[in-house]
Structure 1
């Protein structure tokens, strides 16, 4: 199976290299296409730095990996879209996004470029997996190898799930991971943005830890207990539960 590897931390992220290595070790035919620069928080943005509809890319060599790799002047959502439309050597069977520096949990995953790339693959009929490592704002050194170990456990599942499924995997940054669990999304996430008014028509976004108590069975709670979590996600779909009778118009 052909795997497109991308992320939102950029082509120089050790997490990206770890994910590509895990996929190659699991028998996937790997091609890497990742943002040339940091692109966190871009969600499923299809923005690029190019003009006239052209997106620039540069061939790169990744440490310890003998794979085709590109540094792309675009957000991960657009990179995923390009790949699913046949770019970077042909449509992949799966899109793998990450390994992100920091957890992507709760409904705040809406803003994640890592998850955005996976959801973009989903709406283009490609199965995807977003992977994140739960390293806090002031956390210890990332245990990339431990995250790669969990990835290798999960990758075989991608051949068993329904077509165009999208999974989000979060791995605790601990040596002794307690196991793997399916998880609900928490109400928000472990880190939230606080808006401070600094005057002169400016505001400042300050990242702080969420103060809400952890709800059992959610991704945030299970991560705190030392479990790796898997959540199956849906992308853009119609929600009939909100539909009511429409007013008669025009009269």
Structure 2
């Protein structure tokens, strides 16, 4: 099976090589295509970088990996879209996005470029996995290999799921991970944005830790208890439960 490996932290992130290595260990054929620069918080944006309107890519060599790799001047959502439409050597069977530096939890995953790449793959009928390592704002050294260990455990499950499934995986940044758990999305993420007015028609977004108590069974609570969390996601779809009788218009 062919896997497209991407991320939103950029081509030089150690998390990218960690994920690619885990995929290789599970026997997948790997091609790497990741943003040429930092693209966090870009959600499922299909924007290219630069003014030409074309998506520029450059062949790269990754440390200790003999794989086809590209640094792409685009957001991860667009990279995923290009791959799923046959770019980078052909449509992948699975898109793996990450390993992100920092957890992607709660409904705030909407804004994540890591998750955005996975959601874009789903919209193009490709199974996908978004992987994040729970390193805090002032956290210790990232335990990338622990994330890779969990990914290797989860990949067989992912590949057995129905076509176009999406999973978001969060791994605690600790040596003794307690195990795997399915998790609900928390109402907010672990880190939230506060808006500060700095005057002269300017505002500043400041990242702060959420002060809400952790709700049992949610991704934030289980991560705090030392579990790696799995959340199966649904992408854009119709919600018939909100529909009501329409007014008689035009009369």
Normalised TM-score (structure 1): 0.99
The 2-side partners of 1:76 and 1:168 are apart by 16
Aligned counterpart, 1:81: 81
- The aligned residue for residue 183 of structure 1 is 183
Q: What displacement does 1:143 show?
A: 0.1
Alignment of 1:5-44 (within 5 A): 5-44=5-44
Tell me the CA shift for residue 157 of structure 1: 1.1
**Regions of 4+ moved over 3 Å:** 50-53
How many angstroms does 1:42 deviate by? Answer: 0.1
Give the Cα separation in 2 of the matches to 1:11 and 1:248.
Answer: 55
1:163 and 2:133 matched: no
Q: Quote the residue 2:58 is aligned against.
A: 58
Q: Find the aligned partners of 2:165 and 2:182 in 1 and give their Cα distance.
A: 15
Counterpart position of 1:152: 152
| CA–CA separation in structure 2 for the residues paired with 1:238 and 1:246 | 17
What are the Cα deviations for residues 13-40 of structure 1, in whole angstroms up to 9, with x where unaligned? 0000100011011100000000000000
Q: Are residue 128 (structure 1) and residue 128 (structure 2) matched?
A: yes
Aligned to 2:143: 143
1:178-235 Cα distance to aligned partner (Å, 9 max, x none): 0000000000110000000111000010000000000000000000000000000000
Offset of 1:158 from its aligned partner?
Answer: 2.0
Distance 2:3 2:232 in 1: 19
Give the alignment's TM-score, normalised by structure 2: 0.99
CA displacement 1:30-69 (0-9 Å, x = unmatched): 0000000000000000000255542000000000000000
RMSD between superposed Cα atoms in Å:
0.7
3-state DSSP of counterpart to 1:20: helix
1:207 aligns with 2:207: yes
CA distance in structure 2 between the aligned counterparts of 1:159 and 1:216, rounded to whole angstroms? 28
Q: Tell me how far apart the structure 2 counterparts of residues 163 and 151 of structure 1 sit (CA, whole Å).
A: 19
CA distance in 1: counterparts of 2:95 and 2:127, whole angstroms: 6
1:192 paired residue number = 192
Secondary structure at the aligned position of 2:121 is classed as helix
Pick which of 49-58 and 62-71 moved more.
49-58
Q: Distance in 2 between matches of 1:105 and 1:142?
A: 17
5+ residue gaps, structure 2? none
What SS does the aligned partner of 1:151 have? Answer: helix
